[in-house]
Amino acid sequence: MLIIGTLVTCVGALVSVAAGTPSGPLDSGVRRGAAGSVATVDLDARVKEFTSRLSERGGYRPPSAEDRASFADGLDALLDGDLTRATALLDATGYRVRELRDAPSGRRFTELADASPSRERARGWGRYYLPADTPLRWSVQVPHPVADRHTERLGVVGVRGSQGGALLLAGAHRRSGEGNTADVAHRTDTLFHAAAERLVAREVPAVQLHGFAPGSAPGRDAVVSTGRGDHGRAEARALATALERRGLSVCRAWTHRCPLAGRTNVQGRAADDAGLPFLHLELAPGPREPGSEAARRTARVLAEVTDRWARG
């Protein structure tokens, strides 16, 4: 596991080199302090504003192999503290880095986002948030924002609830683009998967959030799976048990024939190949609805499970 807390003191220099002065929709919800200080945001509002622009008719342009490699190498360089190299590599893909403080939680994050709001909407490569004040220990992945309604907001709740979490957020509706090119949970040729693979290489476990319509798993509130592998079986049992204790009906994919078990999920397969825990969590609408009691219960359960990873 790699400590990236050093980014707290040096990422500001990277931001000024890579991006200049921010402008446009990307800055929604940001309150700037004195020169060189961290931008204060409400991360939930920031993510909500970003995903509000995603739709089935939205844009998606698959990244080239060179784009994927440059972004992934830039992410690695950033995690390693090599800011000069990270600047060059991320700039080559049109990404910039900003350090943010989430006002409600007090946590600091390093945001990787497209430098151009209009290009961000056109190509839909996603945003990525790394913990900037604690060691990187785990990730929460949101491959289908908007399409799986409110999973993006539950992802924010996840990184707020346990320290050391990274948030991987896809940048397009899964049905935008041609064919299934924007369905990042089933494509390896995306920036989302490139980022997930680099975190796998750093032995970072993950929980991936999905949503289903009630008719897809009748009578169930959640489907808990470890994807193709079983390396996260202990965490999956703990997750399922905790959800059930809070009154949710759970289908356990390792003991029942559950729908939506995520066995073809490519991020899960990458984790399985590396022997890492990967939790695939499918939720009915109720446990995803912001402000609902079911959603609060789900958030508490996620914090319980990811706290184990946060403690190393």
Task: Please give the share of the chain, as a percent, with pLDDT higher than 70.
Answer: 88
The pLDDT of 186-210, averaged and rounded, is 98
Q: 32 pLDDT band (50/70/90 cuts)?
A: very low
Residue 62 to residue 190: CA distance in whole angstroms: 7
The pLDDT of 153-163, averaged and rounded, is 95
For the chain, counts of helices (H) and of strands (E) = 10, 10
Which pLDDT belongs to residue 37? 67
Mean pLDDT of the chain: 89
Amino acid in the structure at residue 241: T
Q: Is 154 helix (H, G, I), strand (E, B) or coil?
A: helix
Task: Judge contact between 83 and 10, C-beta under 8 A.
Answer: yes
Quote the pTM value. Answer: 0.89
**Residue 311: CA atoms inside 13 Å, Cβ hemisphere, count?**
6
CA distances from 86 to 4, 9, 92, 114, 126 (A): 14, 15, 10, 14, 18
pLDDT tens-digit series, residues 73-129: 999 999 998 989 998 999 999 999 999 999 999 999 999 999 999 999 999 999 999
From 39, 198, 199, 193, select the one nearest 125 (Cα to Cα): 193
**Choice among 7-16, 61-70, 282-291 with the minimum mean pLDDT:** 7-16
pLDDT tens-digit series, residues 224-247: 999 999 999 999 999 999 999 999
Q: 214 pLDDT band (50/70/90 cuts)?
A: confident
Compare 145 and 6 and report the one with higher pLDDT. Answer: 145
Tokens 């999920």: give the residue.
265
Which pLDDT belongs to residue 9? 38
The pLDDT of 40-50, averaged and rounded, is 98
> Which residues neighbour 130 within 8 Å (Cβ) at sequence distance 6 or greater?
4, 7, 78, 79, 109, 110, 112, 136, 166
